[in-house]
Amino acid sequence: MDFQLVKGTHDIINKEAKYYSAIESLFISLAEVYGYNEFRTPILEYSELFKRDKNDSSDMVRKQMYTFNDLSNRSLTLRPEGTASVARSIVNNKLYAESDYPIKAYYLGPVFRYERPKAGTYRQFLQFGVENIGIDSIHADVETIVLSFRALKMLGFENLKLKINCLGDAESRNNYKEALVKFFTPIIDKMCPDCKERLKLNPLRILDCKVPEDKELIKDAPKMSDYLNASSKTRFENTKKLLKEVGVPFEVDEGIVRGLDYYSHIVYEYEYISKSGLNVGALGGGGHYDNLIKEVGGPSLAGVGFAFGIERIYSLLKEDNILPNIDDSSDFMVMPVGEECIDRAFIVADYLRMLGYKADSVIEKKSFKAMFRKAEKHNAKFAIIIGDNELKNNEVIIKDMHTQEQTAVKNKDLGDYVDNLFINEEHECHCHDHECSGEEHECCCGGHHGKK
Ligand code: HAM
């Protein structure tokens, strides 16, 4: 039987996984610099968490969720986003009661949407996101934008476009929705079936329609900016001013309405087109929400956040040849010359690992040539050769893979010798018996560790 990947899913393996980790680590460290704490919430949630409102108009909730009954007949959903789960977690753990506001969460993990797979669009994909909850302020809104903007810039995206829009408060949106209903009702029969439904559920969603003929009709629709009440307008003006002051360039795009129902006030998305013209859709997006925490059973607290799609970010970095540097090298490949040396090679590799070096040994009979090919494939800086003579003399031969220089080193001197080879490099102690101080020291595992 031929086992295929589930449509819309993909493996992330070997070198590619290293690039993903490098991207994710950058996001995590920046979020931590901004004072966000990690939230790891379950992938499985009760479906009602996402189907809070039977009139929800988002495609995500209406058409794209992986929902099924478990063996006890409970309806469960594989999370289609992280925001609702973070909101639920804050409410379930009563963080709103004890926390010093805002509550700042970041998360990373797989989310699931039944979308039509294409470049940059999967059915299981990774999101990194942050939520800033508890203080209804443009400073919280702008902080999430600055954080997301700087994260993408630090990855090397040059011609990044940040598009922002203001959906206003509930009063402004209701007035605008009324104007949209008035505008679209006479022409709705010319539009796609989805738009017909959107008109009933949430006419704002029509603005997001991707059908080319509909897009033409949408061009003449009323503009949100004409329906913002005074306080929403002032808030948006102040948000733009603060963004300028912190040096984040943006453009206002009234077409950005976002695909989820919970937003109000500022919403934003990142667009990036590769040098060759590849556009895989928004790299990330987010916005402000007023009612989500209340909708999941908590107090009335505002929030704001964004999520990035890691696959889209990776694919565009790759396309433009700007993937982050990853350490794809290893320190040592230990090579037994003959079967009787395999045990010693294995023990030496383990000793080096305990000293904190990346080491591997060959554990099957291989020719010299094949072992060197393996060392090259692993980008090993040094080969350690152990043959009958070395076994007899209690020594190893260390060969610098770059200069080809070879030195015989007594087993008892091996730790000091290899530490000297890496004299300017920092390495970590992997001995689990104690907390390694990071300072230079003789370790209980017999090794010599730390910064020199
Ligand atoms: P979203 O715009 O639905 O927002 O998703 C965020 C990002 O996830 C998108 O910009 C895109 O990069 C990525 N993404 C979405 N769908 C796919 C897909 N099928 N395949 C690959 N990548 C995809 C949210 O999820 C909100 N929860 C963001 C947020 C946080 N708003 C407030 N806080």
pLDDT digits 0-9 by tens, 277-332: 999 999 999 999 999 999 999 999 999 999 999 999 999 999 999 999 999 999 99
Which CATH superfamily includes the segment(s) 14-169+229-319? Answer: Bira Bifunctional Protein; Domain 2 (3.30.930.10)
pLDDT of 157 > 70? The answer is yes
What residues does each domain of the chain span?
Answer: 14-169+229-319, 330-435
272 lines ligand 1 (CB under 6 A): no
Q: Which atom of ligand 1 is nearest to the CA of 144?
A: 33
Best residue for ligand 1 mutational test, from 57, 65, 127 (most atoms within 8 Å of Cβ): 127
How crowded is the C-beta side of 73, counted as CA atoms within 13 Å? 0
pLDDT band at 438 (very low <50, low <70, confident <90, very high): low
288 lines ligand 1 (CB under 6 A): no
127 lines ligand 1 (CB under 6 A): yes
pLDDT of 32 > 90? The answer is yes
Contact of 89 with 39, CB cutoff 8 Å: yes
How crowded is the C-beta side of 411, counted as CA atoms within 13 Å? 14
Residue 434 is predicted with a pLDDT of 45
- What CATH number has the domain spanning 330-435? 3.40.50.800
pLDDT of 445 > 60? The answer is no
Mean pLDDT score across all residues of the chain:
93
Residue 260 is predicted with a pLDDT of 87
pLDDT of 452 > 50? The answer is no
307 lines ligand 1 (CB under 6 A): yes
**What DSSP assignment string belongs to 208-225?**
G---HHHHHHHTTSPPGG
Residue 437 is predicted with a pLDDT of 55
* Mean pLDDT value across residues 253-280: 94
pLDDT band at 136 (very low <50, low <70, confident <90, very high): very high
- At residue 420, what are phi and psi to the nearest 5 degrees? -70, -30
290 lines ligand 1 (CB under 6 A): no
pLDDT band at 57 (very low <50, low <70, confident <90, very high): confident
Q: Is 341 exposed, middle or buried (0-12, 13-18, 19+ CB in 10 A)?
A: buried
Contacts 24+ apart (CB under 8 A), 249-252: 249/162, 250/145, 250/162, 250/163, 250/164, 251/161, 251/162, 251/163, 251/164, 252/163, 252/164, 252/165
Residue with tokens 């999430």: 144
- Give the Å distance between the CA of 127 and the centre of ligand 1: 7
* Mean pLDDT value across residues 34-43: 98
pLDDT band at 356 (very low <50, low <70, confident <90, very high): very high
* Mean pLDDT value across residues 94-111: 93
- What is the spatial distance between Cα 74 and Cα 79, in angstroms, rounded to a whole number? 15
411 lines ligand 1 (CB under 6 A): no
107 lines ligand 1 (CB under 6 A): no
Residue 451 is predicted with a pLDDT of 46
Residue 245 is predicted with a pLDDT of 98
Residue 432 is predicted with a pLDDT of 45
Residue closest via CA to ligand 1's atom 9 equals 284
pLDDT band at 143 (very low <50, low <70, confident <90, very high): very high
- At residue 386, what are phi and psi to the nearest 5 degrees? -130, 110
Residue 441 is predicted with a pLDDT of 55
pLDDT of 379 > 80? The answer is yes
- Give the Å distance between the CA of 285 and the centre of ligand 1: 6
pLDDT band at 446 (very low <50, low <70, confident <90, very high): very low
pLDDT of 232 > 90? The answer is yes
129 lines ligand 1 (CB under 6 A): yes
* Mean pLDDT value across residues 352-370: 97
Residue 139 is predicted with a pLDDT of 98
